[in-house]
Amino acid sequence: MKIAFIGLGAMGRAMATNLVRNGHDVSAWTRSGRTLADVTALQTPGEAFEGDVVLTILSDDAAIRSVIVDPDLLSHAAQGVIHVVMSTISVAFSRELTALHTQAGVAFVASPVLGRPDVAADGELQILAGGDPAHLARLASVFEVLGKRTWSLGDEPSGAHAAKIACNMMIAMAIEAMAEAVVLTEANGVAREAFFELILNTLFGSRSYQVYSKNIASRVYEPGFRATLGLKDLRLATEAGAATGRELPMLAAIFGRMGEAIAAGHEEKDWSILAAQTLGEADKNS
* Residues annotated as part of the active site: 164
Task: Give the CA radius of gyration of the chain.
Answer: 20
